Amino acid sequence: MRIDIITCLPEMFKGTVDQSILKRAEDKGLAQIHIHNLRDYAVNKHNQIDDYAFGGGAGMVLMIEPIDKCISKLKAERSYDDIIYMSPDGELLSQGISNELSLHQNMILLCGHYKGVDERVREHLVTREISIGNYVLTGGELAAAVVADSIIRLLPGVMNDETSALTDSFQDNLVAPPVYTRPADYKGWAVPEVLTSGHEAKINDWRFDQAVKRTRQKRPDLLGDESNN
């Protein structure tokens, strides 16, 4: 999988996509993340990438030309399954969407800034729009890092324990069951006995029951409301 991220703040990806699991995925050759600085595609000698909104109003708008130049260059090199614009009014990211995107070969994540991008970018260049939540960030960079992380960790071979991504919270519309590690007893706070019984079937049943119970307690919206998947 290859993810190309287009941004006017490439420094924001230091410490995110070059770390932890994403780094490991790159080192193993399972995923590549390429960051593209929109400034490199600026239209004039002033390195301009944004301008005032037609019709007036506060805030700058990212111009279509640098974005089009960058996307066209990338599209000339390979085909893309999706060109995704990170936006608070996009479809809300869910485990279902991450699962779907994890099957993509190549995708572009376009980060907005300031007032956003010229609407014609959304009309003519973008194929999908994703929000990571009902709040407004200063730009799409953090959202793009969240999307990249949630997708790449699903790729076979990225996680140490292959089954662990499949047993995550939300994977079956259930939150994850509780987990414990040594010591089995700490200050009299004991680990549930079944987990130290060595009885695999009983442990699986217990985990499933706990996941259902927890979902009912913490996220009842996940049970029965399809719109949350």
CB of 1 to ligand ADE, least distance (A): 20
- Which DSSP state fits 123? H
189 in contact with ligand ADE (CB under 6 A): no
Measured from the CB atom, the residue of 87 and 150 that comes closer to ligand ADE is: 87
Which tokens in the block code for residue 169?
Answer: 């919270």
Q: Which stretch, 97-105, 118-126, 136-144, 164-172, contacts ligand ADE (CB under 6 A)?
A: 136-144
132 in contact with ligand ADE (CB under 6 A): yes
89-128 residues near ligand ADE, rule: CB under 6 A:
112
Q: Which of 15, 133, 178, 220 binds ligand ADE (CB under 6 A)?
A: 133
Q: Which of 123, 135, 200, 224 binds ligand ADE (CB under 6 A)?
A: 135
Q: Which of 140, 151, 175, 210 binds ligand ADE (CB under 6 A)?
A: 140
Which tokens in the block code for residue 143?
Answer: 């959202």
- 50-57: Cβ within 8 A, 24+ apart: 50/8, 50/113, 50/114, 53/115, 57/115
Separation of alpha carbons 198 and 59, rounded Å: 61
Which tokens in the block code for residue 51?
Answer: 């301008």
174 in contact with ligand ADE (CB under 6 A): no
# binding residues, ligand ADE (CB under 6 A): 12
CB of 106 to ligand ADE, least distance (A): 20
136 in contact with ligand ADE (CB under 6 A): yes
Separation of alpha carbons 221 and 186, rounded Å: 34
CB of 145 to ligand ADE, least distance (A): 11
DSSP alpha helices (H): ranges in the chain? 20-27, 64-77, 95-101, 119-124, 141-152, 200-218
Preceding amide of 177 cis, omega within 30: no
Q: Which of 9, 53, 97, 137 binds ligand ADE (CB under 6 A)?
A: 137
Give the count of beta carbons closer than 10 Å to the beta carbon of residue 134. 8
Q: Which of 22, 70, 74, 86 binds ligand ADE (CB under 6 A)?
A: 86
Which tokens in the block code for residue 61?
Answer: 């708008």
Instruction: Note whether 49 and 66 are within 8 A (CB).
Output: yes
133 annotated as ligand-binding: yes
Measured from the CB atom, the residue of 88 and 177 that comes closer to ligand ADE is: 88
- Which DSSP state fits 27? H
What residues make contact with ligand ADE under the rule CB under 6 A?
86-88, 112, 131-133, 135-137, 140, 143
Q: Which residues are annotated as a binding site?
A: 112, 132-137
